[in-house]
Amino acid sequence: MNLYERLTSNRYDYRNGNSSFKFIDFMNTDMIGATDALSFRGEENAIRQIVRSVFSFQRYEPYNPYVFHKVIPSARNIHPNEAFLIEDGEICRFNPKGNCFEMIGFSERHKGKLWIVIASELWRIMKFYGEFGLALSLLDVGHIQAHLKLKLVAAGYEKAILLEGINGKHLSNCLGFSDSSACIGCVIDLSEYLGKSEEEPIPENYRMISYTIKRKYDYEDEIRRYPAVINFLKQVEVSRRVRIAQSEAAKKMCSVLRYELLRNSGHSTQGLFSTLDRIETDTVMRYATATAGYIREYLDNGIRFRICFLYRAIDGQNYLIQVSGEGILRLESLESVHRESLLHDTFEHINMNSIPLDVFILYQRDPICSEDNNIRQAHIGAGEISQYISLMAAVDGFFARPMKNFNDLNIMKLMGSDQESDSIIYTTIIGKENHYNYVFKLQGGNGA
């Protein structure tokens, strides 16, 4: 079985033999001796403001692991992606806990560059999930990448370029990671805009950091267990440069950002159920059409995605709308749907029967692309689509919870999909949140 299959349809077979303490808290990502990169600067430039707005905590409760809420899903903060900025060789990291940019090094090789880099200490999540942690981390990258793209386009940086297949080893070292432990998720090149801000240049004496400050912990001792992932991380050089947005029409789609602070996975309750179990066809149609638009305008590889919206309409009937980047493919009505069988979580704490809308994101593997590329494109693309859908849901006051813990076989059966060519990469369930910390007890499914 290859890595793609182990990360998708066979992910429940993951083995995880590690039990190190190091995952415990994001405090362990602290870097010794980092300095506040803003202390010698005046106003924060627009790019930093964008990075800060995507990565800063909107809600944070130190003793509640479920509350590390940001505009992108935090997934209990065991998902380890972080943001770095490289500005004319100066490297800093955004530290959400301190809500500050920390200067961590200077790289001669990156003079003249203005890059946003998203990277993760992958082994932190692999403690829980083994190899499968790679899939979760790449989905997170998708959420972050979508949000950054939208913010950049909204702020007029539509000429920004996504660099794919970057030299992971050198860049990881610059960011303070040990040689083989970082997953470079995304690099957005904004060099076109370097030096166009009013910001003061960095004083010479601050450039004394000629080496990169290292992280407090590294995971070198624990990584050898997953050689396929180590190979995956060894990207060699930039192989592709892609515009973050395809056309002028992309700008219009940024209007979903106005409700970004209301994005919500419905995580404040222990159980999850929706107080509204039906939804208007017009609303779902609107989401479906806009999702097709997002795929067209923002996803260079969008042709391989198919999105299925399963909903219970106001008339109580079940419908399925399927879309691709080309638009709506099909609207059909379904006899009955056993919603509880679609997710594994459902028997523990999620009442699927109460949820009016479920979205399934399917990817068709590209036979000419390498396995690694398929893994990246499938997961990052699916994360992007889920983020866009979550933002649309927020505009209407819905929660949208991204879900990886779904039941592939049952969803495939419902979609009438061919498991040979399609994989379900991600799902998102949407409904109206109950705000009263209601602990829900399942009564057993009625198959509505």
Ligand X SMILES: Cc1cc2nc3c(=O)[nH]c(=O)nc-3n(C[C@H](O)[C@H](O)[C@H](O)COP(=O)(O)O)c2cc1C
Q: 182-189 and 114-121 as β-strands: parallel, antiparallel, unpaired?
A: antiparallel
Judged by CB under 6 A, which of 14, 66, 206, 259 binds ligand X? 66
What phi, psi does 29 have (nearest 5°)? -90, 0
93 belongs to the binding site for ligand X (CB under 6 A) = no
Find the shortest distance in angstroms from Cβ 427 to ligand X. 8
Of 264, 283, 374, 407, which one interacts with ligand X (CB under 6 A)?
Answer: 264
For residue 188, what are the β-bridge partners?
116, 162
Given a contact cutoff of 8 angstroms between Cβ atoms, the answer to whether 209 and 102 are in contact is no
Among 398, 402, 412, 423, indicate the residue that binds ligand X (CB under 6 A). Answer: 402
Site for ligand X (CB under 6 A): which residue of 90, 121, 140, 408? 140
Among 11, 48, 149, 267, binds ligand X (CB under 6 A): 267
117-136: which residues touch ligand X (CB under 6 A)?
136
Fill in the per-residue mask, 324 to 363: x = in contact with ligand X (CB under 6 A), - = not in contact. Answer: ---------------------x------------------
CB of 112 to ligand X, least distance (A): 34
CB of 127 to ligand X, least distance (A): 16
Q: Does 376 interact with ligand X (rule: CB under 6 A)?
A: no
Alpha helix ranges (H) inside 155-219: 168-174
Distance (Å, whole) CA 290 – CA 284: 10
Task: Mark out the alpha helices in 155-271 (DSSP H runs).
Answer: 168-174, 227-233
Measured CA to CA, the distance from residue 153 to residue 303 in angstroms comes to 22
CB-count exposure of residue 248 (10 Å: 0-12, 13-18, 19+)? exposed
Q: Is residue 190 within the footprint of ligand X (CB under 6 A)? A: no
405 binds ligand X (CB under 6 A): yes
Instruction: Could you list the beta-strand ranges (E) of 182-287.
Output: 182-189, 240-243
- Cβ-based nearer residue to ligand X, 73 or 130: 73
Contact 114, 189 (CB under 8 A): yes
For residue 8, state whether it binds ligand X (rule: CB under 6 A): no
Contact residue for ligand X among 6, 48, 69, 306 (CB under 6 A): 69
> Could you write out the DSSP letters of every residue in 109-151?
GGTT-EEEEEEEEHHHHHHHHGGGHHHHHHHHHHHHHHHHHHH
> Which range, of 199-207, 263-271, 324-332, 414-422, touches ligand X by CB under 6 A?
263-271
Contact 148, 213 (CB under 8 A): no
CA 445 to chain centre: 31
Phi then psi dihedrals of residue 52, to 5 deg:
-60, -40
Interface region with ligand X, contact rule CB under 6 A, candidates 24-32, 253-261, 283-291, 400-408: 400-408
DSSP at 44: P
Residue 378 CB, nearest approach to ligand X (Å): 13
CB of 11 to ligand X, least distance (A): 11
Stretch that binds ligand X, among 1-9, 75-83, 210-218, 357-365 (CB under 6 A): 75-83
The verdict on 274 binding ligand X (CB under 6 A) reads no
Query: Looking at 73-81, 100-108, 232-240, 330-338, which segment touches ligand X (CB under 6 A)?
Result: 73-81
Q: What are phi and psi of 329, to 5 degrees?
A: -95, -40
The residue from 75, 150, 295, 382 that contacts ligand X (CB under 6 A) is 75
Q: Is 391 exposed, middle or buried (0-12, 13-18, 19+ CB in 10 A)?
A: buried
**Chain length of the chain:** 448
Residue with Cβ nearer ligand X (137 or 212)? 137
Which region among 22-30, 194-202, 317-325, 398-406 touches ligand X (by CB under 6 A)? 398-406
Stretch that binds ligand X, among 40-48, 209-217, 314-322, 397-405 (CB under 6 A): 397-405
Count of residues that interact with ligand X, criterion CB under 6 A: 19
Residues in region 193-252 near ligand X by CB under 6 A: none
Closer residue to ligand X (CB): 135 or 160 = 135
* Contact between 401 and ligand X per CB under 6 A: yes
Choice from 8, 18, 107, 265 touching ligand X (CB under 6 A): 265
Please give the Cα distance from 121 to 79 (Å, whole number): 9
What is the 8-class DSSP label of residue 208? G
Rounded to the nearest 5°, which phi and psi values hold at 162? Answer: -90, 125
Q: Which helix (H) or strand (E) holds 5?
A: helix 3-7
The binding site for ligand X (CB under 6 A) comprises 66, 69, 73-76, 79, 136, 139-140, 264-265, 267, 345, 401-405
